[in-house]
Amino acid sequence: MFHKLLMNRLTKRRTAASGGSPASRDIARSRPGLMIAFRLLALFCFACQRPLPEANSAAAQLYARRCGQCHHAYAPASLTAAMWRIQLEMMEGKMRQNRIAPLTDQERDAILGYLTRNAEHD
């Protein structure tokens, strides 16, 4: 299904590039936005499929266990250290909302240290 939609969009873009209808020209003008969205999607998918760095470390296993109980444990390099700090605070709020045991101070420090150590460099 996704492949069919993607091929349909590509066909419309080719028509627009060759001077097609006004509607197809609007699609052609939105191309930079679509390219950015596609690149972000590809980066996100790539970040999700890579194995965690330091996979055998206690910190990586803690991160995978605690954060992975609600969602996939994302690759630390998918965000910067500053972004991980903000993300961790947001997730702790969601944990409270969903009545999930909060991170202890030691868990928070270990997870944040692991994420920032392996984050994308600012």
Q: DSSP string of 33-54?
A: HHHHHHHHHHHHHHHHHSPPTT
* Nearest CA among 57, 56, 50 for reference residue 75: 50
* Nearest CA among 34, 37, 114 for reference residue 74: 114
Least confident of 19-23, 39-43, 51-55: 19-23
110: Cβ–Cβ under 8 A, 6 or more apart, which residues? 58, 59, 62, 63
- Inter-residue contact 119 to 79 (CB < 8 Å): yes
Mean pLDDT of the chain: 78
- Inter-residue contact 59 to 112 (CB < 8 Å): no
Indicate whether 107 pLDDT > 80.
yes
CB atoms near residue 60 (< 10 Å): 21
77 three-class SS: helix
Model confidence band, residue 1 (pLDDT cutoffs 50, 70, 90)? very low
Model confidence band, residue 20 (pLDDT cutoffs 50, 70, 90)? low
pLDDT for 50 equals: 73
